[in-house]
Amino acid sequence: MDQTRAIWIKDPLAILADGAERGIVVRQGRIVELVPKGGQPATSAACFESGGHVVLPGLINTHHHFYQTLTRALPAALDRELFPWLQALYPVWARLTPENLELGVTVAMSELLLSGCTMTTDHHYVFPAGLEDAVDIEAAVTKRLGMRALLTRGSMNRSQRDGGLPPESVVQDEDAILTDSERVVAKYHQRGEEAMVQIALAPCSPFSVTTSLMKATAALADQLDVRLHTHLAETEDENEFCQQIHGCRPLDYIEHCGWLNARSWLAHGIHFNAAEMKRLGRAKTTISHCACSNQILASGCCPVCDMEEAGVGIGLGVDGSASNDGSNLMQEVRAAFLLQRARYGVGRVSHKDALRWATKGSAACVGRAELGEIAVGKIADLALFKLDELRFSGHGDPLAALVLCGAHRADRVMVGGKWVVLDGAIPGLDVSDLIRRHSAAARAMQYG
């Protein structure tokens, strides 16, 4: 598409925006007009007829582990809660190679794109020998697919020998972690509203890193002006671990380490009490809600509505494909809707809440206010869905149908004004070949 010419996404079936009944005009990667009912664009523009499409802001995934696509539904990890689940998987993940990681990342990001996701995060914290350039591999795939990404330089330095969960083969020492963190930020972190690749720093969790590394990472993130990410309050076991090792609850611990601020977003956030939620709200620390993973691992249910009432911003994350077993963000929207509706009732959770969490809420988690909303001046990251499948037959409200009837694949996806998904496919990607190579790599990794 000619980026110098405007395009009118005309007369959509429905659109997640007020005053845009006749669509929107995109020019040079931005939304420049909302066209109201009965109106015409003021801008000269080519037309994309979208009468068969529901138009959403591009969905934003705020928590993932791409490499885990290689260990979906692994028999040894089935029917386990978090800690024993991790212990079953760490020895397999220790066999991760650069070639396998590239395949795992490509599968995860492709699945996300096809589900209407235009920006994703990834939390990569496993660095066996030979995989020191993991973030570089992820950045290359990101560029190839044309998707936005906030890649986190994760870390673990507390192994089983030091009272942690991971084996020594997948952890690194603090100096190596901090040195590489500075390297990848300098090499890949883009600034400004049109940034495609950014870097955040992300020690894995309070039970897999030392206090020294937690504090040093917070200081480095402040120095480099990048975001911070970690798992927190995912299980009661984690709360007990913090009490036993650090003498305090997880939120007290990260505050002690310099993490309770607007720079940080936390994965899960299930087991906070009311006072802690208020502290999170005051600090402007946000939460990535991972509904599918939380249900599969029986970790609990994030109290999303209570958190929002306390001023905490909420985004959605698919989490790793070994706990979710999928990387489909549109399905995650439905899962979050159903889980929170069951918890809070029909009066407090609607389909629009779930869509808001995956768009504007997720944009707040990643610090990208220019994304996640269809409004004049915002970046033109969009997901267009058709309702021509059997699952939608007989629908009434098109936006509600996306969530209630279980949309799972976008027909078109636009990133920065460029189409990156056309007719439900990623141009140039041989999906059959990718599945063949990825499946072979997964078998080799799982069975050594």
* pTM greater than 0.95 (yes/no): yes
Per-residue pLDDT 10s for the chain (448 aa) are: 455 689 999 999 999 999 999 999 999 999 999 999 999 999 999 999 999 999 999 999 999 999 999 999 999 999 999 999 999 999 999 999 999 999 999 999 999 999 999 999 999 999 999 999 999 999 999 999 999 999 999 999 999 888 888 889 999 999 999 999 999 999 999 999 999 999 999 999 988 999 999 999 999 999 999 999 999 999 998 889 899 989 999 999 999 999 999 999 999 999 999 999 999 999 999 999 999 999 999 999 999 999 999 999 999 999 998 899 999 999 999 999 999 999 999 999 999 999 999 999 999 999 999 999 999 999 999 999 999 999 999 999 999 999 999 999 999 999 999 999 999 999 999 999 999 999 999 999 998 7
Residue type, 108: A
Q: How far from the centroid of its chain's Cα atoms is residue 381's Cα?
A: 15
Tell me the H-state helices in 153-258: 174-188, 211-224, 236-246, 250-256
Q: Give 186's Cβ-side CA count (13 Å radius).
A: 8
**Can you tell me the distance from the alpha carbon of 56 to that of 263, in angstroms, rounded to the nearest whole number?**
27
**Burial class (CB within 10 angstroms; exposed 0-12, middle 13-18, buried 19+) of 253:** buried
3-state secondary structure of 110: helix
Please give the pLDDT value at position 2. Answer: 53
What residue ranges do the domains of the chain occupy?
Answer: 6-57+378-421, 59-365
Residue in the block written with tokens 């990251």: 381
Condensed to tens digits (0 to 9), the pLDDT of residues 181-217 reads 999 999 999 999 999 999 999 999 988 999 999 999 9
Tally Cβ neighbours within 10 Å of residue 160.
13
**Residue range 59-365 in CATH 3.20.20.140:** yes
3-state secondary structure of 385: strand
3-state secondary structure of 131: coil
Closest listed residue to residue 337, CA positions, set 396, 405, 409: 405
Structure tokens at 199: 């870097």
CATH number of 6-57+378-421: 2.30.40.10
Structure tokens at 22: 């006749």
**Can you tell me the distance from the alpha carbon of 278 to that of 297, in angstroms, rounded to the nearest whole number?**
27
Please give the pLDDT value at position 79. Answer: 95
